[in-house]
Amino acid sequence: MISVMKANYGNPSSIHAEGRQARAAIETARKTMAKYLGASIGEIFFTSGGTEANNMAIKGAVRDLGVTRILTSPTEHHCVLHSVEFLEKQGVAVVWLQVDAAGRVDYDQLENLLQDTTHRTLVSLMYANNEIGTLLDFERVSELCKAHGALFHSDTVQAIGHFPIDLSKTYVSFISGSAHKFHGPKGVGFLYMNADNIIQPYIHGGSQERNMRAGTENIQSIVGMAKALDMACTGMDERRETIESIRQYLKDQLLAHFDGIQFHGDQDRYLYTVLNVSFPPSPKADLILLNLDINGIGASGGSACASGVDVGSHVLTAIGADPDRKAIRFSFSHYNTKNEVDFVVEQLGKSIV
């Protein structure tokens, strides 16, 4: 990224040598992204991140592809949830699929709903939940959508770079990605759009991104994202092994040191970079995150909403978690160590006991 910023300052839309050099850097990055996703280069559109990509796919599918019904789940990321709520207000039929206590969608309900082909349907279900780590049965949903002629959008933001995805073998209309979830820079991502489902531009202006997304490209971030995906995919197995062992170690240590803890999300098929744990209600539990932060441990929190006015976690609410319990989401990378886990457990002990 630094070398691109220093040496590659041409505008990729300019036809002079500097411009052509910048254009080449972007197209090389696109080729890298396409290679690791099993896509063709014409199906990758760079965006400012996952939020933009998801908005573009969902709203574009309704506006340009005749979608009149969306089947989705209440545990989606807010950028999907709020886009769907917006479209619902515009008259699009929306069905919020049931989820169980582990956050798994009801696949039978999905199949039943797909039998109704009076609507042009978009199914929007995330690959991996960012709060509780529950994984979608991606292949199953893909097969169901294919069999019933529905469009399939998946927010794959948490999965890209952590699970192998081969779009050449999978029926899917749109997926989204965000570089900072696989150690790339923030503020850059992409939309994969299957060549059969090309929508109209979401942002109008210049002819960048083959007229799909106007505006001068964020070239250094695009190059950084492609490099990060290259590193994530080539090192995927090794990184996964490290992260899995640290996640399991934290689980074991928590079970050994604390009473009454619960893990949220599917513990059999899960996003291995996330562990969501909750502690029984206590006055001290409310201060856990603050105490961790003071000691240099960055974790995020949340609890289910007790009432409509609470701004709790919509995911924990949807899975019926106890609103009085304090939930903490730990996330991991291959840079974490077991020593750090020991320190976390020690600090948690001081916060709670």
What amino acid positions are annotated as catalytic residues? 305
97: nearest Cα among 118, 69, 120: 69
Query: Rounded to an integer, what distance in angstroms lies between the CA atom of residue 188 and that of residue 297?
Result: 26
Contacts 24+ apart (CB under 8 A), 262-268: 262/325, 264/103, 264/131, 264/132, 264/316, 264/319, 264/321, 264/327, 265/102, 265/103, 265/129, 265/131, 265/132, 265/133, 265/134, 265/319, 266/102, 266/103, 266/104, 266/132, 266/133, 266/134, 266/135, 267/102
Q: Nearer Cβ to ligand PLP, position 81 or 285?
A: 81
What length does the chain have? Answer: 353
**Residues near ligand PLP (CB under 6 A), total:** 12
Which residue of 30, 69, 77, 119 would you call a contact of ligand PLP, by CB under 6 A? Answer: 77
Q: How far is the CB of 80 from ligand PLP (least distance, A)?
A: 7
Query: Rounded to an integer, what distance in angstroms lies between the CA atom of residue 198 and that of residue 174?
Result: 10
Q: How far is the CB of 130 from ligand PLP (least distance, A)?
A: 3
Q: How far is the CB of 131 from ligand PLP (least distance, A)?
A: 8
Q: Nearer Cβ to ligand PLP, position 58 or 212?
A: 58
Which residue of 60, 103, 161, 189 would you call a contact of ligand PLP, by CB under 6 A? Answer: 189
Residues 151-170 that bind ligand PLP (CB under 6 A): 155, 157-158
For the chain, state the CA radius of gyration: 21
Return phi, psi of residue 331, to 5°. Answer: -125, 150
Is residue 227 near ligand PLP by the rule CB under 6 A? no
- DSSP code, position 65: S
- Site map for ligand PLP, 102-141, x if CB under 6 A? ------------------------x---x-----------
Is residue 99 near ligand PLP by the rule CB under 6 A? no
Tokens encoding 144: 């169901």
**10 Å Cβ neighbour count for 117?**
10
Which residue of 22, 25, 29, 49 would you call a contact of ligand PLP, by CB under 6 A? Answer: 49
Which residue of 29, 34, 39, 51 would you call a contact of ligand PLP, by CB under 6 A? Answer: 51
Which residue of 79, 136, 285, 344 would you call a contact of ligand PLP, by CB under 6 A? Answer: 79
Residues near ligand PLP, by CB under 6 A: 49-51, 77, 79, 126, 130, 155, 157-158, 178, 189
